[in-house]
Structure 1
Amino acid sequence: MAGRPHSRPRLIDVAAQAGVSMATASRALASREGVSERVAARVRDVAAELGYVANPHARTLAGGPTSVAGLLVYEIGDPYFSEIASGVVGTAAEHGWSVQISHTERDSRAEAAQIRLMRAHRVGAIIVAGSGYVDPAMEAEVARELDAFQETGGRAVVIGRHHLRCDAVLPDNSAAAASVAEHLLELGHRRLAVVAGPRHLNTVTDRLGGVRSAVAARGLDPDDMPVAYVPFTREGGRAGAAQILEQHPGTTAILALNDAMATGVLSVLRERGVAVPAEVSVTGFDDIQVAQDLAPALTTARLPMSEMGVAAFELALRPPVSRPRRKPTSHGLVVRDSTAPPA
């Protein structure tokens, strides 16, 4: 008589052979808190020996969270966000998680809608990357969705946001921007102008605040420094550069508050025959990979974008606490060919 076909191993089989409860086996395989590393290692070894593979769809049907993280970014094609996503995805894979990525184009209503959709899919964690808003009311709906998600056991982490009640990774925007401005001031520039992003974003406020503090520390009036508020894009940088050249022709240095805008600034200066850095110095912010390949190579403030993604996912794996954690990041000044003393 033929034997029964070999059936796929189940979680109960792993738990029985490892000598633990099903709950402990589940937590161990999902890399969740509450299981010692010795026990978790034994469970993983047994699962590997039996050929057990978790079925996240079955877990969803059972009403529990999955080992899937939702990542919200403004635009996945933006190098800033793609580098953050790389850190999130790589770390998630190391812990046996997968990542669902959505982009929202800096629309808080779209963010809230995506969070609702992720909650419906019972993701185990949600990470929101990108600037918050100066007015907390603009992200009130997002705050309600994340609060509800956490109240039902989900883990939420944000990157670069101040007002939401969850763990956060906070880039050092103000100090990094100050370091760029100080570099230009040390070169001898006194006629600075800023190409900033939208004024309602916290990131813009923080970075512009760092520039203004550095200018004030040199005894200059920051209110005399022109600021062009434009979209946080290459095309925004082009519009900002054109505005500054037309309204403030004596400017000797332009600080773009992200590298994408800096590429737009450089393109306008090149089209108009303005030599960089002989006539105008240009700086960026973030140090995306392409910054070093521009002509001239871009002086910029470096943020550890991939590491920010790693830190956010690692926070998502930790148990919640009554007071949300705040993890600051480092920054660095990268001096390249786009800056020089004023003529």
Structure 2
Amino acid sequence: MKPQTTRPRLIDVADAAGVSIATASRALSGTPGVSESLAQRVRATAAELGYAANLHARSLASGSTSTIGLVVHEIGDPYFSEIASGVLRIAADQGRTVQICHTGRDPQVELQQIRSMVASRVGAIVVAGSGFVDPSIELPARRELEVFSDAGGRVAVIGRHHLGVDAVLPANVEGGRAVAEHVLGLGHRRIAVLTGSTGLTTVADRLDGIREALGAAGVAVADVPVIEEAFTRAGGRAGARRVLESHPRTTAVIALNDDMAIGCLSELRTAGVTVPTQISVTGFDDVAVAGDLSPALTTVRLPMVEMGARAVGLTLKEPGKRPRRLRVPAELVVRDSTGPAPA
């Protein structure tokens, strides 16, 4: 159930009147195509609920362009660049342009970027990347996007968010479970996990999958260190150093994205640790370079280009009464960076 906001929204009026959001919008704005009796009923419902359209947002939406706003955490991250490729492809097919911004995973910057896009009169906004485990962090952005949606804008997200909009959801729990089962199946029990902020829903979901596999294998979750660093190559290098210093008997490292895994491989190579003979390493996402590394990276493949394309597809459809959820699968890809646990 959606949390209550301080003011009723267009979707609340539509639900109470038993009509679609589009019909409610036409009835309240006086647009042709709605019978007078139905329009009167919708207006009466809006009055009962105390609904008042945000005129500033409506004026922006009424002059909206065919531009799609894409919000990513870091455009230089291969995960987001591949998602952007899918967004750009569908946008080009539809004769639309794309305005891209990145937030550095800072919720305040994300809110500012969303407001900037609304002011730029984009017709749709796609937010790519993880939400936050604490829903209160996303509440200001949620309210901003509700006003934008009520005014006729379209919104979709990629990843688990608390924004109450259409979403493309990668199988992060299932992927985490699959990669952990693979490592455990090779005989590894001294495992470390490298992760970005545990306040991100993507991280929480992938960790949940790993913990499910550990529990099923009889491995105590408390015995597996979770090392939190930046969700970047530099974070992977820092995490690998911490593993070597604090957990020197580790035989397998599960990194929760490929960027961290690549950084980990680099640091292990510098330290003279052979992969996978001494330590196996896995990633998550299967970015384009993962198969070209030496050793090639075992990872979990997400269809990132398709995820971007499907998110744009959601913004091109008429809004539904309830947020839509499109789930995309995860696939374990076994390469040379994993091998049997050392004797």
TM-score above 0.5, yes or no: yes
1:250 is matched with 249
Aligned-residue CA RMSD (Å): 1.4
Which residue identity is paired with 1:319? Answer: E
Determine if the alignment matches structure 1 residue 161 to structure 2 residue 188: no
2:236 is matched with 237
Contact 2:60 2:118 in 1 (8 A): no
Contact 2:61 2:148 in 1 (8 A): no
1:153-302 equivalence runs, <5 A? 153-302=152-301
1:104 is matched with 103
Which residue identity is paired with 2:183? Answer: L
Matches of 1:79 and 1:245 in 2, distance apart? 27
Deviations 1:296-317 (A, max 9, x none): 1100000000000010000000
Per-residue deviation at 1:111? 1.0
Per-residue deviation at 1:117? 1.1
Deviations 1:236-261 (A, max 9, x none): 01111111111111111000000000
1:7 is matched with none
Which residue identity is paired with 1:124? Answer: G
Per-residue deviation at 1:161? 2.4
Per-residue deviation at 1:113? 0.9
2:329 is matched with 330
Matches of 2:61 and 2:229 in 1, distance apart? 48
Matches of 1:329 and 1:272 in 2, distance apart? 38
Secondary structure of the 2:250 match is coil
Contact 2:60 2:119 in 1 (8 A): no
Matches of 2:110 and 2:261 in 1, distance apart? 27
Contact 2:60 2:121 in 1 (8 A): no
1:26-175 equivalence runs, <5 A? 63-175=62-174
Matches of 1:192 and 1:135 in 2, distance apart? 28
Deviations 1:118-166 (A, max 9, x none): 1112111000001000111111111111111001000000110231111
Matches of 2:308 and 2:201 in 1, distance apart? 19
Matches of 1:306 and 1:143 in 2, distance apart? 25
Secondary structure of the 1:127 match is strand
Matches of 1:312 and 1:77 in 2, distance apart? 20
Percent of residue pairs identical: 60
Which residue identity is paired with 2:280? Answer: S
Matches of 2:187 and 2:311 in 1, distance apart? 39
Structure 2 residue runs without a partner (length 5+): 1-32, 34-58
Per-residue deviation at 1:62? 10
| Count, aligned residues | 285
Per-residue deviation at 1:294? 1.0
TM-score between both structures, scaled by the size of structure 1: 0.81
Per-residue deviation at 1:63? 4.1
Deviations 1:208-234 (A, max 9, x none): 111111011111111210110111000
2:49 is matched with none
Which residue identity is paired with 1:195? Answer: L
Which residue identity is paired with 1:265? Answer: C
CA pair 62-301 structure 1, distance change in 2 beyond 3 A: closer
Secondary structure of the 2:289 match is helix
2:318 is matched with 319
Which residue identity is paired with 1:162? Answer: H
TM-score between both structures, scaled by the size of structure 2: 0.81
Deviations 1:7-58 (A, max 9, x none): xxxxxxxxxxxxxxxxxxxxxxxxxxx9xxxxxxxxxxxxxxxxxxxxxxxx
Per-residue deviation at 1:61? 9.2
Deviations 1:314-341 (A, max 9, x none): 0000111111001111111111100000
Matches of 2:200 and 2:105 in 1, distance apart? 10
Per-residue deviation at 1:295? 1.0
Matches of 1:232 and 1:171 in 2, distance apart? 18
Matches of 1:79 and 1:268 in 2, distance apart? 20
Secondary structure of the 2:111 match is helix
Which residue identity is paired with 2:125? Answer: I
Per-residue deviation at 1:64? 2.3
Runs of 4+ that moved beyond 3 A? 60-63
Which residue identity is paired with 1:158? Answer: V
Matches of 2:168 and 2:270 in 1, distance apart? 39
